Amino acid sequence: MKKSCLILFAFLSLHTFAQKFEGLALTPPMGWNSWNTFATHINEKLVMEMADAMVSSGMKDAGYTYLVLDDAWMAKERDSGGNIIADPQRFPHGMKYIADYVHSKGLKFGLYNCAGTRTCADYPGTRGYEYQDARFYASQDVDYLKFDWCNTKGINAEEAYTTMSKALKAAGRPIVFSLCEWGTNKPWQWAESVGHLWRTTGDIGNVFAGDKKYGDWSALGVLHIIDMQDSLRKYAGPGHWNDPDMLEVGNGLTESENRAHFAMWCMLAAPLIAGNDIRKMDASTHDILTNKDVIAIDQDSLGIEGFRYATKDSVETWFKPLKNGDWAVCFLNTSNAPQKVAFKWKEEAVNDTLSNRQLDAKTTTYQLRNLWTKKSAGTTKKDLSATVPPHDVLLLRLTK
């Protein structure tokens, strides 16, 4: 009897408590990743310039902390000892040199690999090398690992990601673990104790409405991805986030679309991983990405994802409960024409059963603040009436 209790306890300890580092992502991770703009064209100079730009542009001050190198940082093959190595031409001083530089700027450093035998861009994958690679990341002072899902035929996703999670834990350096499994095996159902964030969809493209075709696959547009999130909010919270993919702000969307995309990622408590060339972003992109009031919606310590309250005449109304009884509301115009928005605060019943929160404008008056214009928008005593431009948002914070 005693022995079986002990075995059960050991089993539970291993499975319940020992898989991932806790406390590393109490709010959604923020940073920059190389993939959306540079794909495989990355090198030492570019990365160091990007670290400089994260500081000089104010991105770091706005909360963007992780600089993550995506696919193709490594040599095409492992060395004779099976070690993964940085591409010697593009990263001649190796990865520790980059990590040191990134850390010297007050930032954190991330790398990418894949649960399969090869990465999506055909570099060496981690399958069979989990503990060896985890020790390498720890030795290079890596703080974040994005772990992809290409070339995984016959592999069980939960097992593969759990193995890597345990390998990172065993290597001993606290590392944020980002599961990039595209939602194929519903990671939201099993990854809370495995990683800190998990992709919920296939890859994002720099398109707002509709998808972007690339031969035999399509990158998903912003609205398409938003549609795929609504039922997943109950799975997210401090330390474990739904990840609707990295940002395309500044990558060819219109200014309105950039604003709407960013606002909605914040309403979704999504990781905010910029994917534009921050060395040369225009003023509007800069102001969108570094708007601290909007970022505060994303980074709210309650960690509750927003929900779609209503859809009418191509306008979606989303609400997100915030700390201290505040709320965010976002009116998203999904159409190509301006849309009128009317909202009678006192007649609506905004009731979030997940967080057990009610917005009761009958008994409470909320102050309204427009987070893009940074101006007061009156109070909930008066019905709201506004026009939202095409593919844009009206984003308000309600404070008691």
Which residue ranges make up the site for ligand GLA (CB under 6 A)? 35, 70-71, 112, 119-121, 148, 180, 203
> What distances in angstroms separate CA 17 from CA 12, 65, 240, 241, one per listed residue?
8, 27, 15, 18
Does the annotation count 87 as an active-site position? Answer: no
CA distance 243 to 341: 29
Other beta carbons within 10 angstroms of residue 367's beta carbon come to: 15
For ligand GLA, which is the closer residue by CB, 180 or 207? 180
For ligand GLA, which is the closer residue by CB, 115 or 322? 115
For residues 148 and 161, is the Cβ–Cβ distance under 8 A?
no
Instruction: Write down the residue that tokens 């990405």 correspond to.
Output: 289
Residues 6 or more apart from 263 whose CB is under 8 A from it? 294, 297, 330, 332, 371, 372, 393, 395
Pairing of strands 217-219, 212-214: antiparallel
For ligand GLA, which is the closer residue by CB, 242 or 291? 242
CA distance 243 to 305: 11
CB 33 to ligand GLA: min, Å: 8
Does the annotation count 100 as an active-site position? Answer: no
For ligand GLA, which is the closer residue by CB, 70 or 300? 70
Q: Which residues lie across from 178 on neighbouring strands?
A: 146, 197
Angle at 312 between CA 310 and CA 317, to 5 degrees: 40
CB 202 to ligand GLA: min, Å: 7
CB 111 to ligand GLA: min, Å: 11
For ligand GLA, which is the closer residue by CB, 119 or 291? 119
CB 217 to ligand GLA: min, Å: 9
For ligand GLA, which is the closer residue by CB, 148 or 392? 148
**The one catalytic residue among 70, 71, 143, 203:** 203
CB 367 to ligand GLA: min, Å: 40
CB 284 to ligand GLA: min, Å: 25
Query: Which residue's Cβ lies closest to ligand GLA?
Result: 120
For ligand GLA, which is the closer residue by CB, 180 or 266? 180
**The one catalytic residue among 70, 87, 143, 148:** 148
CA distance 270 to 292: 15
CB 35 to ligand GLA: min, Å: 5
Q: Quick one: tokens of 352?
A: 């979030």
CB 149 to ligand GLA: min, Å: 8
For ligand GLA, which is the closer residue by CB, 243 or 392? 243
Known catalytic residues are 148, 203
